[in-house]
Homo-oligomer: A and B are copies of this chain.
Amino acid sequence: MSDNSFGKLFSFTSFGESHGAGIGCIVDGVPPRLPISEAVIQPYLDRRKPGQSRFVTQRREDDEIEILSGVFEGMTTGTPVAMLIRNKDQRSKDYGEIARQFRPGHADFTYQGKYGIRDYRGGGRSSARETAVRVAAGAIADQMLQTVLGEGYRVHGGVVQIGPHAIDRSRLDWNETANNPFFCPDPVAAAEWEAYLDGVRKDGSSAGAILEIVADGIPAGLGQPIYGKLDSDLAAAMMTINAVKGIEIGGGFGLAAMDGREAGDEMRAGPDGPEFLNNNNGGVLGGISTGQQLVVRIAIKPTSSILTPRRSVDLDGADVDVVTKGRHDPCVGIRGVPVAEAMMAITLADAVMRHKAQCGLF
């Protein structure tokens, strides 16, 4: 029931601030006898780690995960899996103006207004640092789904637009995401983005992005109508990620302009059962998976922390000009890919368990 929890049966609860003692989470509902260890989880975290290219933040965070419970001799026991990432380098230092100023586009103003207090160091709880623990939780979800759904299952994704520059979908190849610093499925676009992002950074600005996350090998039948629809849960999941301002399933906003005769996905008998002739619905009908590829896109706003001075106010309500120094991601969307993948895996793991509970009894 916690506001810091996500998921109903496969659930996790996160804690921690950017510059506190550490961040972590408790993953509950994990099936027993699943092989899990730090070695299994760490690679997922490494994909999100800062400093992997010049297009992401150069901060040093090792994000080394420690499993505190729920695993015994390399296997889950069915009890909650707690994980901890210690924050390095929390030396007390002068945070100066940041303690009193509200950075535009950040949650400084709203946290202060809501709680009357905030841990201003590095954004505190509202920092995207929290997303590291989602990736750890997502790793367990992904491992579970591999076990339950088998070979064909895979959650993956990438960046399909940076700033105004979208990929050419005729070149879309998901295998390309490992070959460039943007998780971009179009190698030509990826090459172009390098120059674009270098320019953005030189201008003291930042860029937004659109991410596409897909799941293969998802059986039909997942999702609980009416208020536990798979797409509703996915929308909630994605919208909790920092800087996300939009989400669409399948054709999404484009469907609004489509002719009704084109929009619905027709079917025909195929050699292995019914086949859809199209996937405008992104693999979900009536909140339940169709067995097709699950397709979700999310819009991420430009990084709010930029070198260009911005107008704002301080704790006393007086005008100030805020300059955010430090080593920020010019486009937070890039490192958002493993986070969004994690949220999709968690949502699916939960959906699998909820479906099994109701429909797998007899």
Contacts and interface: CB of A to CB of B under 8 A. Distances in A.
A313 B318 CA distance: 57
Contact of A15 (B82, B116, B240, B281): B82
Interface in A18-52: 20-24, 26, 28-33
A62 interface: no
Contacts of A310: 261, 264, 266
A243 to B, nearest CB: 9
A168 to B, nearest CB: 16
Contacts of A81: 15
Given A32-B117, A119-B77, A130-B226, A353 B359 contact: no
A209 interface: yes
A218 interface: no
A300 interface: yes
A72 B313 contact: no
Nearest to A246: B248
Number of this chain's copies in the assembly equals 4
Given A15-B69, A208-B256, A266-B311, A2 B354 contact: no
B257 A164 contact: yes
A195 interface: no
A156 interface: no
Given A115-B359, A147-B362, A255 B208 contact: yes
27 contacts: A3-B28, A13-B80, A15-B68, A24-B68, A24-B82, A32-B114, A32-B117, A33-B116, A78-B358, A104-B266, A105-B281, A110-B221, A110-B223, A148-B362, A161-B256, A207-B259, A235-B235, A245-B249, A245-B251, A246-B249, A256-B333, A264-B302, A268-B313, A274-B313, A277-B311, A354-B357, A356-B360
